Amino acid sequence: MENYFEEAIFKVERDEPMSWLIKQKDRLTALHLDMSETMVHKRILRKCGGDLENAIRSRCIEPCSIGYYINAMEDITTTTKIGRNWYKHSRDNKTSGKHIPKPNKPHEKPPLKCHKC
């Protein structure tokens, strides 16, 4: 179960904030029963990534419940582009395997042929 927590990193494109946060909190509380709630929240926020973690921490004043973190995370991920990838995955593009040649530029002359060969 500890491996599941360590491998889980929040991705805006893949994960939903509420279910991801609750799942991570349940995993941590099952592993460490004596851990305080603020420490649980800090460890979970470290898995969000730098910009997203900073944005959530600046909106929530500690100590607060998981509900505040869920609301802040949903608000940030839906209204801003914080935490998103800047590139699109190549598997999302559905292109055919055909080669499309570049169009010729009109101002270029075709290469000259040698008439001696």
Q: 3-state SS of 37-87?
A: HHHHHHHHHHCCCHHHHHHHHHHCCCCCCHHHHHHHHHHHHHHCCCCCCCC
Tell me how far apart the alpha carbons of residues 32 and 41 are, in angstroms, rounded to a whole number. Answer: 13
- pLDDT bin (cut points 50, 70, 90) of residue 104 is low
| Nearest residue to 85 (alpha-carbon basis) of 46, 57, 49, 59 | 49
N residues, the chain:
117
pLDDT digit string, tens, across residues 11-64: 888 888 888 889 889 988 888 889 888 888 888 888 887 788 888 888 888 788
C-alpha span between 12 and 24 (Å, rounded):
15
Considering the chain, what is the average pLDDT of its residues?
Answer: 79
What's the whole-model pTM score?
A: 0.64
